[in-house]
Amino acid sequence: MEFASGRKTDSAPVCFVSDAIRSDAGPPAFPSQSSTSDTEWKKLENWNGKVDESIELLAHRKPDWSRWIAFKVDCDSPQTFVLSYSGGSGSDVFLDNEQVAQTRADELIDDRELLLLSVSAGTHEVMVKLVGDETISRTELSWHSPWAGVSTAGWKHASLENRLWMIADPNGPFNETHFAQTAHSMARAIHRLRKQFTTTLVAKELPTPRNTHILRRGEYDLPIGDPLQPGVLSVLNGFPDAAPRNRLGLAQWMTSPDNPLPSRVLVNRMWQRVFGAALVRTPEDFGVQGEYPTHPDLLDWLAIELQQSGWDFKHMMRLLVTSQTFRQDSTWRDDANDPENRLFARGPAFRLDAEVIRDIGLWASGLLDPTMGGEGIKPYQPEGMWKALAHPASNTRHYEPDQGQRLYRRSIYVYWKRTSPHPMMTLFDAPDRESSCVRRSRTNTALQSLAMLNESQRMDMARALAGRLLSTCDHDEARVQLLFEIVAARPPLKNESDTCMELLDQMRKRYQTDQGAAAALIKVRTDDQPSELNLVETAAWTQVTSVVLASDLAVMLY
């Protein structure tokens, strides 16, 4: 290993990485450099002994799991190094079995990315604990001297960034100047900003486009005629005169005021999202084989409004949901001859999408975790579903449900296995994602009702909502009132209130004689169960909230 002083150690250090272990476990024993027989550790093969070396490891990315990185450092003289790392809350740094830094649960890891470690001459053991995090896609560890790699370049030939590191280096000649502290703060800020950068793949035009020909019967080796030129169908209007013949030109053509098709298609799908049925009932086909719009003038007006608003989707959605057409009553009208509501004589009435139904239940119960970003989450599902469809060597043949608050993140983060989506999603007609889906089918089956009243996560929602009612209100009537205000944003009708009170009375009588069933019903898989729990009351109200969450109030837009 070579240090800024130019001295070398007798041998390069060996770096070990642990398997994923529980975050609440204590620090493991330091591994032996001469043996890798301990199954808890594995040698990092690409660690070549240079101090200026970074380790990038795929993170476990779950807050309750972590990895440990361990290595020894031999120094002939006192040194100050920079330890740079990223991880979740609870990440630790140990130097010679003493904790020197820890990321608190309420502290962002960006605040602890750079840590100065001063070591004396001799051999030192360094262990770093990297905890998973929802929003960090990779964990990184870098152990180096800021002076390394630039000391030989010289100030005159060094880049501005290297000069900054030279000033900030506590081992360098500038460490006694008033510039050192400012330079170190700037270096931290630059490092923190770079950590926030996102790398993604982008498409780029070739300097010389490839020749594209018509192929005889689609055979790649049977081209016909002259090379084709980029363009669009003449029936859809031509390219703007100044538009280039590339993807930029295509975007300019699509958003041109002279091309009404894209804006018509977009507002038609917005209308379908809000009203359940589109103005053109075949949103995937605006051609001669598609249906004629029910309100062609309205479709054109909305398309022009979208263009003139600067393609502002929020403005268009606000316009639709505040319209008189959307706000009218959805009940049947005897004076209107519109049985299929094609003329929108009534307000919309349709079952919500699978993801929306789940998110509404989580929100109403207070369980919804608003965390954004991160890997997919795995809610409860029946055992063996993945195993029956997975290849024996597949890494998804076993399904392990997540724990804690991860279970209650929004449905957009539900892990999607192509051959076996989550059963509650497919049960409520979520598409399989194997092909593009413009409009979803909406079925109404007894199995859906059965799942809404018995599925594990639905029962968690009902139990949490019952606890919310019991902790907020003291009387049954007030609890029913609050229940309907949460789920339906309105007070209950008399028959609805009477039905809930009757069900509540029946459930109380049932669980008073069978408290074992009450305990089984309200058994939860989270850590938020109250210490003092009235089994009978909680179980009875859980049944009431379960019924309301499975009713039209929570699964229908009407």
Q: Residue 546: is its pLDDT beyond 90?
A: yes
pLDDT at 449: 93
pLDDT at 338: 86
Q: What is the distance between the alpha carbons of residues 451 and 478, in angstroms, rounded to a whole number?
A: 29
Q: Residue 545: is its pLDDT beyond 50?
A: yes
Mean local confidence (pLDDT), 386-397: 78
Of the candidates 322, 325, 305, the residue with the CA atom closest to the CA atom of residue 313: 305
CA dihedral 429, 548, 372, 136 (to 10 degrees): -90
- Among 127-141, 345-359, 427-441, the range scoring the smallest mean pLDDT is 127-141
- Predicted confidence band at 351 (pLDDT cuts at 50, 70, 90)? very high
Task: Write down the mean pLDDT value for the chain.
Answer: 81
CB burial of 69-101 (b: ≥16 within 10 Å; e: otherwise) equals bbbbbbbeeebbbbbbbbbbbbbbbbbeeeeee
For residue 30, give the DSSP letter.
Answer: P
pLDDT in tens, 462-484: 999 999 999 999 899 999 999 99
H or E element in which residue 138 lies: strand 138-144
Counting other chains too, the contacts that 340-349 makes at CB distance below 8 Å and 24 or more residues apart are 341/277, 342/277, 342/281, 342/294, 343/294, 344/275, 347/558, 348/274, 348/275, 348/276, 348/277, 348/557, 348/558, 349/276, 349/556, 349/557, 349/558
Q: Which residue has the higher pLDDT, 159 or 460?
A: 460
pLDDT at 12: 54
Do the beta carbons of residue 511 and residue 540 sit within 8 Å? yes
pLDDT at 46: 63
Mean local confidence (pLDDT), 235-241: 81
Residues 6+ apart with CB under 8 A from 175: 169
pLDDT at 13: 62
User: Which one of 204-208, 418-422, 536-540 scores highest in mean pLDDT?
Assistant: 536-540
Mean local confidence (pLDDT), 112-137: 72
Helix, strand, or coil (residue 415): coil
pLDDT at 483: 96
pLDDT at 368: 93
Give the architecture (CATH level 2) of 16-195: Sandwich (2.60)
Which residue is listed with tokens 């460490």?
Answer: 175
Do the beta carbons of residue 17 and residue 24 sit within 8 Å? no
- Predicted confidence band at 165 (pLDDT cuts at 50, 70, 90)? low
Q: Residue 339: is its pLDDT beyond 80?
A: yes
Q: What is the distance between the alpha carbons of residues 364 and 469, in angstroms, rounded to a whole number?
A: 11
Q: How far is CA 166 from each of CA 72, 117, 119, 180, 186, rounded to the nearest angstrom? A: 25, 17, 19, 9, 12
- Predicted confidence band at 155 (pLDDT cuts at 50, 70, 90)? low
- Predicted confidence band at 111 (pLDDT cuts at 50, 70, 90)? very low
Structure tokens at 297: 């003038």
Q: Residue 307: is its pLDDT beyond 70?
A: yes
Q: What is the distance between the alpha carbons of residues 160 and 187, in angstroms, rounded to a whole number?
A: 11
pLDDT in tens, 7-18: 334 445 678 888
Query: Which amino acid, residue 64?
Result: D
Of the candidates 514, 508, 516, 499, the residue with the CA atom closest to the CA atom of residue 553: 499
pLDDT at 529: 53
Which residue is listed with tokens 């699964």?
Answer: 555
Mean local confidence (pLDDT), 232-248: 84
pLDDT at 432: 84
Percent of the chain with pLDDT over 90: 37
- Predicted confidence band at 57 (pLDDT cuts at 50, 70, 90)? low
Of the candidates 491, 465, 475, 492, the residue with the CA atom closest to the CA atom of residue 549: 465
pLDDT in tens, 278-289: 999 999 998 888
Q: Which residue has the higher pLDDT, 510 or 241?
A: 510
- Predicted confidence band at 109 (pLDDT cuts at 50, 70, 90)? very low
Q: Mark out the alpha helices in 309-445 (DSSP H runs).
A: 313-321, 324-327, 354-365, 385-389, 423-427
Q: Which residue has the higher pLDDT, 287 or 307?
A: 307
Mean local confidence (pLDDT), 451-464: 93
Q: What is the distance between the alpha carbons of residues 8 and 419, in angstroms, rounded to a whole number?
A: 55
Percent of the chain with pLDDT over 70: 77
Q: Which residue has the higher pLDDT, 80 or 504?
A: 504
- Predicted confidence band at 153 (pLDDT cuts at 50, 70, 90)? very low
Mean local confidence (pLDDT), 294-306: 96
3-state secondary structure 297-338: HHHHHHHHHHHHCCCCHHHHHHHHHCCHHHHCCCCCCCCCCC
Q: Residue 488: is its pLDDT beyond 70?
A: yes
Structure tokens at 110: 């960006």
Which residue is listed with tokens 């993807």?
Answer: 247
pLDDT at 140: 57
pLDDT at 455: 92
3-state secondary structure 153-182: CCCCCCCHHHHHHHHHCCCCCCCCCCHHHH
Domains of the chain, by residue range, sit at 16-195, 234-327, 349-558
Structure tokens at 225: 């005629």
Structure tokens at 80: 């100050």
Q: Which residue has the higher pLDDT, 214 or 136?
A: 214
Do the beta carbons of residue 314 and residue 297 sit within 8 Å? no
Q: What is the distance between the alpha carbons of residues 294 and 162, in angstroms, rounded to a whole number?
A: 67
**For 344, left (φ over 0), alpha (ψ -120 to 50), or beta?**
left
Structure tokens at 384: 């063996």
Query: Which amino acid, residue 162?
Result: N
Mean local confidence (pLDDT), 170-190: 66
pLDDT at 72: 84
Q: What is the distance between the alpha carbons of residues 469 and 129, in angstroms, rounded to a whole number?
A: 42
- The Cβ of residue 380 has, within 10 Å, a number of other Cβ atoms equal to 19
Residues 6+ apart with CB under 8 A from 44: 15, 16, 17, 55, 69
**For 314, left (φ over 0), alpha (ψ -120 to 50), or beta?**
alpha
